[in-house]
A and B are shown apart, each in its own frame.
Chain A
Amino acid sequence: MMNKIWGVFIIAGILFSIVCGNVDSLNNEIINSPSEILNIFLSMFPLMIVWSGLMNIAKEAGLLDKLSNFMAPLFRIIFPDIPKGHPSLGYIASNLTINMLGIHNASTPFGLKAMKSLNDINPDKKRATRSMITFLVLNTSGVTIIATDIIAVRSLYGSVNPTMILSTTIMATIITTIFALIIDNILYKIWRKR
């Protein structure tokens, strides 16, 4: 799947640029985009290291377990395959919580740790488990309660009420997440039969 998407992006992009005579800007893009990407990485990775450090403190203090205990009743329904008290649940709980608070860069280390921890109980290390997929579907459906960056943009552009957007964002995010879990469940059953 990743192979196809990646290949299609590049082939479609290059062919279309050539057909439209946009080769110059394409050329620039191929030459300049790696250093642009490095800049994105450089702005992102120190923050990831800071949050990995804080994450470890929270874990050693037992905060992650506390959070996952709090969410346990819900998690038993959403993630039936994860054994009770497994460390991955703590990482999943904190990843989703931090996403809800809208601190997106901080949530990545928790998410990656959750995946690593879920892979510990994966019998086939090359194949995604049901719990991994459910977790990522939840993660990408983006349960954001406070979209700080969007509110900031809205107030920058002179909205009469920048936070008004929260009502629709929160409703949309909740409805989408419920549907995401249903879609995930249905697709899981279809895929299992194949």
Chain B
Amino acid sequence: MNLVKLGNYLIPVVVLLIILYALKKKVNVYDSFISGAKEGLEMSISIFPYLVAMLFATNILLKSNLLDTIFEFTKPFFDLIKVPIEVLPMAIIRPISGNASFAVMIDLIKKFGVDSFIGRLAATMQGSTDTTIYVLSLYFGSIGIKKIGHAMWAGLLTDLLSVIISIILVSVVFG
């Protein structure tokens, strides 16, 4: 059976299992859902300012074409160390915005082909890490933490490493 179709079963099955298990344990599922949903509403409202702040700043940066210009200038260097420059925008944008990097991935797939080296590399990079700066600002913001210690450095170093590992793996596995 094809995995895309199988994936569609995932969420309904998870929801079904939660409700069935809860009913077996005699939980008042409706009341419980409502009180959780109320908390969810408060949570959403508390993260809204952080979402606005983060997306506002990233939109301005992404629309300014500054990053594209930097990629153009650094191209010779990356050609030299045999890193495919085409995926560099993804590497930089991935920690900032999941939606933007998803769009870059689709562009790369359209341009180079879905089963090309670049196409596969872009998909692997998109799938193997998450939006570090966005997640940190939202999660720490929601509980009012200002001093985030080494979190940003650890997150970004991990992202850099994930790019390197993706390049190596895709080269080795798909040659």
> A residues touching B (Cβ–Cβ < 8 Å)?
1-2, 5-6, 9-10, 12-14, 16-17, 20, 22, 25-26, 29-30, 33-34, 36-37, 40-41, 44-45, 48-63, 99, 101-104, 106, 108-109, 111-113, 115-116, 119, 125-128, 130, 132-133, 136-137, 139-142, 144, 146-155, 157-169, 171-173, 175-176, 179-180, 183-184, 187-188, 190-191
A136 touches B139 (CB 8 A): yes
Main secondary structure of the interface of A (DSSP, over half): helix
CB distance from A175 to the nearest CB of B (A): 5
- Number of B residues near A (Cβ < 8 Å) is 98
Main secondary structure of the interface of B (DSSP, over half): helix
CB distance from A104 to the nearest CB of B (A): 8
A29 touches B109 (CB 8 A): no
B127 touches A147 (CB 8 A): yes
Give chain A residues whose Cβ lies under 8 Å from the Cβ of B153.
187
Give chain A residues whose Cβ lies under 8 Å from the Cβ of B27.
57, 60-61
B147 touches A127 (CB 8 A): yes
Give chain A residues whose Cβ lies under 8 Å from the Cβ of B135.
111, 136, 139-140
Within 8 A of A (CB), among B125-175: 126-133, 135-155, 157-159, 161-162, 165-166, 169-170, 173-174
Within 8 A of A (CB), among B26-80: 27, 29, 32-37, 39-41, 43-44, 47-48, 51-66, 69
Q: Does B114 contact A (CB under 8 A)?
A: yes
Q: Does B90 contact A (CB under 8 A)?
A: no
Give chain A residues whose Cβ lies under 8 Å from the Cβ of B123.
147, 150, 153-154, 165, 169
B145 touches A56 (CB 8 A): no
8 contacts between A and B (CB under 8 A): A2-B136, A13-B64, A52-B36, A52-B41, A63-B21, A125-B144, A132-B140, A133-B151
| Contact partner, A142, options B130, B157, B165, Cβ 8 Å | B130
| Contact partner, A48, options B11, B43, B159, B173, Cβ 8 Å | B43
CB distance from A154 to the nearest CB of B (A): 5
